[in-house]
Amino acid sequence: MNTKSVLRIILRILSFRACLFFLLQFLFIYNTVSQAQWVQTNGPSEGYVQMLAVSGVNLFAGTYSTGVWKRPLSEFTDVTEEVNNMPQGFTLSQNFPNPFNPSTTIKFSLPKATHVTLSIYNSLGQEVSKLISKDMNAGVYTTEWNATSFASGVYYYRIVASGFVQTKKLLLLK
């Protein structure tokens, strides 16, 4: 895995500002096994980042008592932040974990504001739990089903939203 792949993964998990310090610390450690290297402009060869600065086409990292390092900004330019996170269509994702005990997470997306009903059914088709029944804005949502009071077995979850209807299977193992 190269440095850019690692950056992409971390930036998707955390916001840029929250992880910039972590990333630079990681890159200082990672450069010992990587082809991409920070270029030392002065001071000893190791250290922890204390300050950052951008000048021209370079990122400079100042370290406590170990000098200043630089790296071309072009090495970071393929890391992009998704601007449009709005879903393009209705989706109902497979629950996770599955099988589960005692709770599971269900993720779904709505491309527009609509009334949403998300229910759980047993293998006989009887509704055993209504997780959501309300108007919701466009976006990506997760909800949890705690099945502590239910018996082990196969259950189904179903979403109904603006004419979109989808059902998926889940397995409760106790």
| pLDDT tens digits for range 22-36 | 555 544 444 444 445
What is the C-alpha separation between 71 and 127, in angstroms, rounded?
Answer: 59
Indicate the pLDDT class of residue 162, thresholds 50, 70 and 90.
Answer: very high
With cut-offs at 50, 70 and 90, classify the pLDDT of residue 174.
Answer: confident
150 vs 22 pLDDT, higher one: 150
Instruction: Say what the pLDDT of residue 122 is.
Output: 96
Would you state the pLDDT for residue 85? 72
Domains of the chain: 3-75 (no CATH), 91-172 (2.60.40.1930)
